[in-house]
Amino acid sequence: MTPMENLDRLFISASPQELLGRPLNEIEQKYAPPKLYISSQKGIPLPEPRVAIVGSRNASPNGISVAKEAATFLTRNHVVVVSGLAEGIDTVAHEAAIEENGSTVAVLGTPLDKTYPARNDFLQKKIMREHWAISQFANGHPVQPKNFVIRNRTMALISDASIIIEAGEKSGSLHQGWEALRLGRPLFLSKVIMDNSSLKWPKEMMKYGASELADFQEVIDVLPSSERMLQIIR
C-alpha cells in the first residue's frame, strides 16, 4: 500500500486483497484489477458487510423510492452501501446511506480526479472525504464508456451481495448482475424489475441463481460474517 497524497483527503493505492483485507480465490482473481486507487480518511480494509445497490440512470419514481428504501434499511442494519455514483439509482443509494449516517463506497468509472456525471461533483468529493471512493483507473486515464462496464466487475467483487433495482435490456447494471453470479455472490432483483413483463433478462439471470427480492431482510440473511468469508476463500 503506497501513500499517493496527503492533503485534506487520504489517497492510497492498494491491491484488491489489501482493500478487502483477505486473499482472493481463483474465481475472484480472474478479473480483479491489479491496483486500486482509493480516497478515504477511514483507511482500509473496507468494513463488512457490503451490499451494492445499482440500477438505471433514468430511474422511475418507483425505482427511486425502492432504492432509497433499500439503502435506508441496509444502513440501519449496519451494512455498507456500495454503488457507482451514476445518476438515478446510484445517486439515491449513496445519498440515502449518507442521510442515515451510514457508510458508502463509490466505485468510479473515472479516475479519482474526474467526475461523471459532473452534477455529482459535490457528492463525489463528500464521499472521497468522509467515506470511500475507489477507482481502478489512474489519474489522467482517459474516460471511456467501456470503463463503466469494467468498474461493474470491480463493484461486484468488493460487494458481498448485489441488488438491481431497475434496469432495461441494455443497462450497464446487467454487467454487475452477471459478474455477481459468476463470482457466486447473492444477486437480488427488485419487484420493480419483476413486475415489468417486457424484460427478458431477469428470467435469464434467475436461471443462474438470481432471486426476486420480496423483503430486504432476505439480503441481511445471506450476508456472510468475516469469519465465514475466510472459510469460503480457504
Domains of the chain: 2-233 (3.40.50.450)
**Distance in Å from the first CA to the final CA of the chain:** 23
- 161 by Cβ neighbours in 10 Å (0-12 / 13-18 / 19+) ranks as buried
Looking at residue 134, its pLDDT comes to 98
164 DSSP assignment: E
Q: Would you state the pLDDT for residue 125?
A: 95
Rg of the chain over CA atoms, in angstroms? Answer: 16
- Please give the pLDDT value at position 14: 96
Q: Which residues pair with 220 in a beta bridge?
A: none
d(Cα 57, Cα 142) in Å, to the nearest integer?
22
Global pTM reads: 0.91
Amino acid found at 207: K
- Say what the pLDDT of residue 64 is: 97
- For 224-231, the CB contacts below 8 A with 24+ separation are 224/48, 224/49, 224/160, 225/48, 225/49, 226/48, 229/22, 229/48, 229/160, 230/22
* pLDDT given at position 224: 78
Q: What is the C-alpha separation between 218 and 24, in angstroms, rounded? A: 26
* pLDDT < 70: residue spans in the chain: 1-10, 225-234
pLDDT of residue 1: 40
Is the preceding omega at residue 117 within 30 degrees of 0, hence cis? yes
Single out the residue of 34, 153, 139, 140 nearest to residue 84, CA to CA.
Answer: 153
- For residue range 10-34, what is the model confidence (pLDDT) as tens digits? 689 999 999 999 999 999 999 999 9
Cell of 66: 425502492
- Rounded Cα distance, 171 and 160, in Å: 21
